[in-house]
Structure 1
């Protein structure tokens, strides 16, 4: 009996053990099915192939991104930054009863979040930030164990359930910023979360005052309330937060003085209260000796800058511009640390410039403009080779500018305007290889302009007016191919105007008034394709007014008060130029009543010229008519004649690994990949595995008429074997640039032509942004495409012997290779500007609707600035993800007008950025959008050159890389603080 009882006692635990194993096995099977369902809910191109291990034959705990507890149940799901799209299956996920971590940040998830998330009762870490969800965020009051909640920039809107956070007393990090919640006061529910060390509530529609209870959150190391509508004073209780490392309050409506007691914040490194309505002095900041960045610009601060700032050993960035500060800058400012930028512009500061702000050789931005500084520029700054922007304009500075300042090798802008500087611009300026803008007007500078200025080949603007410069203008100034503005007025320049200025194809504004220039006006000025304003008044110029000036479309022309003689050209004798020729007693005119009539001899000469011109035009028309008749007769032939029967002329431009026969054999229907206005495009697969794209252009159409408007490189108005066609294709064939599609050869016959290009396997940018082939391009790739395409256009505009205007820049003409590197393609409407042709006067509207520059509305004349406009539209596509024409823009509106209408507030600007672009990149995207707005200026002369566009795009990215260096790694909440270097753009 006892033996039987013992056996029962022994078997009973085994029975329960077996039952437990069965239950565990069933639970494990359930978790497998849950995760497989989760996998199916997530879509998109996952570059890391994270789901390769997620299959029914593997153990759940071996799945990539999954971690299990000691009992083998799923504890953590970490799929952050995996390029996932789809929806969040909260009901399924919350069936994982042991789940403690759910991290899905930095993806492309969308849709609404269901109430089922409330069932994840064991969650300690929830990260859904940097996604594209919609609707309101659900109540999660049951998640009382939560320690980390990150929802920043996740797309949520509506009313946030603040009350659901009240019981989360263990919450350590809370990041809810950059969402469009309904306007609300600061949630008092947060004031009892005593363990919080990270609170990110920037840009989430908070209003009202900062509550005094904020002082209860004594564990905070980061407090960010920026870009809200908070009002009132900064409460003194904030000074109880003595563990704070970062305090961000910028872009609110805060008033009053800085609270006393800020000296308690001895760990504070980054403090930004810019763009508020604060007043009083900065004396409370003098104790913050660990400061790295201090930014208080655009307020109403008064008093002096604390002298203690000069002793701060870590201070890198100081931005105090647009206040009412007085007194001197601390003389030791920047002496101890690797200063990046100092901006104290637009104040009432006095005294001398501190000598050692670039002592460590790291300064990039130096902004003291619009103050009352006196004394000289310290010689030390001539050695500051890292400086990019040097602006001390509108002060009372004096003395000789240290020679090395002129030659700073990385400077992009030097602005000394409106001071009392003396001495010359020295030959050092030849070393300023990146200098784009030189502003020194309204000083007492003197001497000759050195010839070496022509070596500063990046110069876009030279503004030297109202000084005492003398001598000749360097004859080599025409080497400045990018020059757009040249102001030399009100000086003492003498000798003649250099003829080489006619080589400055981008010159739009030329003012040499009030000097002592003599000699003739160079006729080469009449060939400047973008010249908009020409003022040569009050000099000693002589001779006749060049007829070539009549081809210019000038908004301002002033040749008054010189010694000009002869007839005023008829093309300039218009009401718009009234007064432009006064003070020249030797001029005559048959049209301007205020001048004496020209002699009969002059009139006779003019009549003869008119007869010659009329005869020449008539002869040209006759010859053109005869040519068209011959072309029409020649085109009456059988269209179906085999390509093989034609006689072909091959011109190769690169080393070819294929034969003419291989190309001809591939011009078949099954290889057709595209059609255009001038012919078809075929993909050719060679025996060696290489692929090519071949464009087949018929020079006659089925009716035997010549195709006068080809959309193929340089075939417009040309026959297949003309000398013009050969010359223009030869020019294109000489292009060797990584961002312009490669033309291997042309194969021409009497009736058609084949152009053989490299093949681009990833289609066009349009495909990747807008069609069924849409690929979620990350921001880094988008920016690389923008820079690459800009460099391709820059090469066409600036890098060839003759300017090439593309005339049909659009996203579908930007092709992408296997690595998504861009190539400018399809030069079908392109125009090569001849050296002697002046402006392009093509009377055909070229381009594609949505990309066409507005000047087509009032003139058919086109220059390279039309390409710049079209490229600006492409930049807008890259940033917004929208097509140039969308129904949402409204009737008769395009993307340019839509963007313009949205430039109202930071919130509306941010809303334009494509939702696929994560928050960390949105600031850079906005910078690119600003460049796009510049490119699409209505007036062509206000648009930058492509050389400038490339520089601006690269500079925008460099600023972003600097941010990552300054900030270091992402914080645990996934926040990038783009504001740490605000002010650098001055």
Structure 2
């Protein structure tokens, strides 16, 4: 078929892209059938060829999904989301769409059974049928979808049991590569089969909340060590909680509430990334508050209402550094409540209503919301403040950006930038919100910033606003979202399509339910631009989607600001340092010389502009020369630098104890007269970024790029595997890889690096920092930092070595660009058009295909699928041998061999064979 069709939707898009100049007669006929079946189709579908601009986003489409659609055999993406007027059954012939990779019918009104033939879609990676009225059982044939990444059947009326394989019949247990099981808000019955889970699975989210499941929680759940979110709440589960549940050390949110679980409360010691735990309304054996709760250092919310707790509440619980909410209401807790002298600075709510507490001890100023109504202690009139019911203040609305709201007419709304417009609106529904308190404006303000920066940065969006946060009866968090157009008072169809598609592909246990958009921009203007719209929006959607995949916004990121505030060291990073002993007696600073300000001022000629060799958010870098002739690079923090103090202390402590030929050496530091300066060895050929961009005038051939890749990989492998304790760099990028006089790579800039004080722990919980385009979404979403975050960033560096492109250009991410261009059946994977001309026009590119494979392996979406840096080093060594190089040979060439010659780049281009 000459036509390649993609239906882009979530927020209801329908986009047809042709690979040939004209639409085939067969495809044209099918599209005409769709026109006749659906109401409210775009005005430009009235013409003779409906393939010009077919965005159907948020227009309230009405009608049925005709079986004729299965004749579009090249269809790859079918996304009809949020068209509430689309109803009826999914055609039984849906399995004929063999090329389909994405099927999103979120927020429609489809009903009936999900056809068994859907299991024939073996290329499918994303299946979202949530928020419809599908009934009947879950087809076991879904188990045939071996490539499925996302499976979402939430909020339907599905019944029957959870299907697992039986002989030749498949089941959900066959989906070992799937990351998301979303089955909440249905009417599923029966037990959770032990066979459903195994150690082979790569599941991240298991959501079976709000069903009618019975029986116990299978112990096989503890085998799926990749899990991060588990929801079995609001069922009729019984029996004991498996004792091996604490094997799930990556789980961040665990919901077991509102069941009939019995026996002792399981020991969850070791679940050090757990920040939300809800075990309320079960029938556990009477016991005291488990002591292991005080060991969960990442815990933000502990909810154990009505769980037969008794005795006193341990005061150590309230000092957990991240703790925000404690709900131990409706138990038999008694004795004295001792909050302790230093409760968590994050703590906002302690709800202990309906217990038997007789005394309380409060230390110092107490501003925490404490609820004691229904306790004997409330007989004391002095405590009346604490003896009222808990209230939830969820009144948040995005404030204006230092402007006066205008009076808007014609149903328009004022944006945060005080412009009247028709916003694209809907509701964000978080199925596993990471915090209980709804009145923290910082959460929502930060979410607004991330939506603008990472979702809509390449689209015609002026601003976004959030309002009316609330929790429903299923404990889902609902937040109203409005997206405002830029430069005009309404969006056109293609812009709404792009925004909707981006929001439909988010990677967390949440979804976006949109309202119909009824105020599209002038259709005549759109029609005049129809010939170019497909290209422009294709670029916008593709690039922005990849940015989303790399840097995903989720509610987890909103905890960062609050987390950072608790570290008072940020404002006084040197408070505990004894400067009188800095001469070398402190082991952490061994080998780092202390320079005087006067000495560095002299060797840089009073920090003259002529000696400035770089600058950044930290400050400026100067070249300096000692009397001995030794060249230095001196990084001087700008006055009032917000993060300079931390980075200064961090980099000194780290660099003074790591020594490797592929790491920049720290010579010393200066900390006097209000100055913070780091003194490094001088690296003459600047950054890898400058070489790839042509700024430095140095040309890097293929062989040299392989050596640079190997050197920088060895430096990072040393940090991960040989440093004591191991160090995660956290800001790997081409501007932080320097080249010496022989063009050997040296990794630099350890200001954001994070040591792993406990090497046995997989992850470090930390505030997200790094550079946009290099950060993987897993780190960004979870705030759980691992060595694999550096591996992802290094994969981006490898792609820059191939293409000499920035990680993000014109809204397109380099990972997406390479994936789109790759064809493994052709020579050099058919990457001729995106290779850097410097290497594309040069000598043989031996090992290039293996190099591309390695880079793409490094940027896998899930960290567990990426190699270690040690494995990366070995693979690059193998690639160099394929290219005829000795990976252990020292370079004897200098930068002069690679300087750009007169006449510029050759005009010839490597052609496919």
- What is the TM-score of this pair, normalised by structure 1? 0.45
- What is the TM-score of this pair, normalised by structure 2? 0.48
Considering Cα pairs closer than 8 Å and 6+ residues apart, tell me whether 1 or 2 has the greater RCO: 2
Structure number with greater Rg is 1
